[in-house]
Amino acid sequence: MLNKHTKIIVAGFGGQGVVLAGNILARSAVMEDKHVTGMVSYGAEMRGGTANSTVIISDSKIASPFVVTPDVAIILNQPSLDRFEPLIVKNGLAVINTSLVSQSGSRDDIERVNIEASDIANSLGNKRTANIVILGAFIKKTNLLKPESVISAIEELFSSKKPALVEVNIKAFNAGLDGVK
């Protein structure tokens, strides 16, 4: 409606870590003292099904927390592109995991960033970090948040539960940053 916030949707299949990716974005924004709301699709979700997570980041107070027409869609698989690309605002951005999206969408009024996130994740030895790779690409393209904030958020989230995964996720994030010119 009023374009004062950045509305982001992260979408993929269940198990790709879209909720985690949204969480990391939200936490990074909190670290930068921005206004943030976050929501996840919930309901009959399961591993392999579709899932999405929405985050609004703003310098001003956020009223409605819903994202109907995202400014940015971070797309991890084909069904998510099919579903969310048509909803992106004019001149919006799609960040696409081209490892798993073969048919590019039909919009010619949005910008696209393509990154082979799953392949890069595989090359790092942990295919589950594709979500973090694509976050890196998104941050590099938009500069919406400082990379240091995202790295701190990754450290914060992983170090309590899975400290062994901190390093590979930071590598994945940096690979995403490097993957975009």
Partner 1 sequence: MCQAAIEAGCRFFAGYPITPQNEVPEYMSSHLPEAGGIFIQAESELAAINMIFGASAAGVRCMTSSSSPGVSLKQEGISYIAAAELPCVIANMQRGGPGLGNIRASQGDYFQAVKGGGHGDYRIIVLAPSTLPEIYELTMAAFDYADHYRNPVLILGDGILGQMAEPIELKPYKPVVELPEKDYILDGCKGREPRIVKTLLLRPAEALVEFNEYLKVKYARIESELKLCEQYLTEDAELVVAAYGITARIAIDAIDAAREKGLKVGLIRPITLWPFPNEAFKEVVGRAKKFLVVEMSNGQFVDDVKLAIDCSRPVEFLGTGGGWYPTPEKIFEKIEAVYK
CB of residue 146 vs partner 1: minimum separation in angstroms? Answer: 17
Nearer to partner 1, 39 or 110 (CB): 39
CB of 71 to partner 1, least distance (A): 15
**What minimum distance in Å lies between the beta carbon of 33 and partner 1?**
9
* Residue closer to partner 1 (CB basis): 4 or 146: 4
Q: To the nearest whole angstrom, how small is the minimum distance from the Cβ of residue 156 to partner 1?
A: 13
- End-to-end Cα spacing for the chain: 31
Phi/psi-derived region of residue 85, left when phi > 0, alpha when psi is between -120 and 50, beta in every other case: alpha
User: Of 25, 15, 5, 45, which is closest to residue 156 (Cα–Cα)?
Assistant: 25
Tell me which residues touch partner 1 (CB under 8 A). 1-2, 23, 26, 30, 36-40, 42-43, 63-66, 68
- Alpha-helical segments (H) within 7-146: 18-31, 78-84, 117-123, 130-142
Task: Using DSSP, state whether 31 is helix, strand or coil.
Answer: helix
Cβ proximity to partner 1: between 30 and 166 the closer is 30
Decide whether 37 or 99 has the Cβ nearer to partner 1.
Answer: 37
Backbone angles phi, psi at 128, to 5 degrees: -80, 0
